Amino acid sequence: MRIVLVGPPGAGKGTQAAFLAKNLSIPHISTGDLFRANISRQTELGKLAKSYMDAGNLVPDEVTIGMAKDRMEQSDAAGGFLLDGFPRNVSQAEALDEMLKDEGMKLDAVLDLEVPEDEVVKRIAGRRVCRKDSSHVFHVTYTPPKTEGVCDTCGGELYQRDDDSEETVRTRLEVYHTQTEPIIDYYKAQGLVVTISALGKVEDVTGRAMKALQRQEAPQ
């Protein structure tokens, strides 16, 4: 299957993408990973992206589209892929359609992870990260440390990252509503959107997603 995964910040896209890609035996193609890989390998697109990022500017659509195209043309993506973070706006969605059309392919589904805005704020703003090891992550409500402000694993200080503050989260949500949400309407017009609730346990959300995708894949 060829799938696009969409949803607001805090919807658990990265977690679900990893599980779904494994269950469907297709590569998980994340925009963040694409940028890091191209920059570390110093590809032409990576150098170009880095020049914009170093200047504090947004990377232009055509650079992001170029990286995605290169990745989708690799052999492991021949039987399908799961895109996470791309397309991010309607112009990127149109470019993706053209890319696939040129290869005689099309998308099978656009999986929309739905989470209430207040839950998104609660999920992200409640996150606390260890200063000694950023892989040690807790949540004030869902996974609180035994001692407030202290990492259970190494005893390091737990803190709230600047981009996890409620104000920043609400700004990120506004960007999502303005830039990314319109692609849902774009794909709805093509009959591709499958919306599921991203509330509950990770495995429950994955189960819902798999069922929804199987229905989408079944002959209409």
Q: Residue 219's pLDDT is what?
A: 55
- Which tokens sit at 155? 């005893």
Check 71, 122, 123, 127 and give the catalytic one: 127
Residue 14 marked ligand-binding: yes
Per-residue pLDDT of the chain (220 residues; tens, 9 = 90+): 999 999 999 999 989 999 999 999 999 999 888 999 999 999 999 999 999 888 888 789 999 999 999 999 999 999 999 999 999 999 999 999 999 999 889 999 999 999 999 999 999 999 999 999 999 999 999 999 999 999 999 999 999 998 899 999 999 999 999 999 999 999 999 999 999 999 999 999 999 999 999 887 765 5
DSSP state string for 116-143: -HHHHHHHHHTEEEESS-TT-EEETTTB
Coil, helix or strand for 195? strand
Q: Residue 174's pLDDT is what?
A: 92
Check 50, 69, 170, 172 and give the catalytic one: 172
Please give the sequence-ordered ranges of beta strands (E in DSSP) within 35-160, or none if there are none.
Answer: 81-84, 109-114, 127-130, 137-139, 158-159
Residue 15 marked ligand-binding: yes
Cβ(90)–Cβ(42) below 8 Å: no
The Cα 181–Cα 26 span in angstroms is: 25
Check 41, 47, 132, 161 and give the catalytic one: 161
| 161 catalytic residue (yes or no) | yes
The Cα 94–Cα 8 span in angstroms is: 20
Residue 31 marked ligand-binding: yes
Q: Does domain 2-217 have CATH number 3.40.50.300?
A: yes
The Cα 220–Cα 208 span in angstroms is: 19
Residue ranges of domains in the chain: 2-217
Residue 11 marked ligand-binding: yes
| 131 catalytic residue (yes or no) | no
Helix and strand counts by DSSP (H, E) for the chain: 9, 8
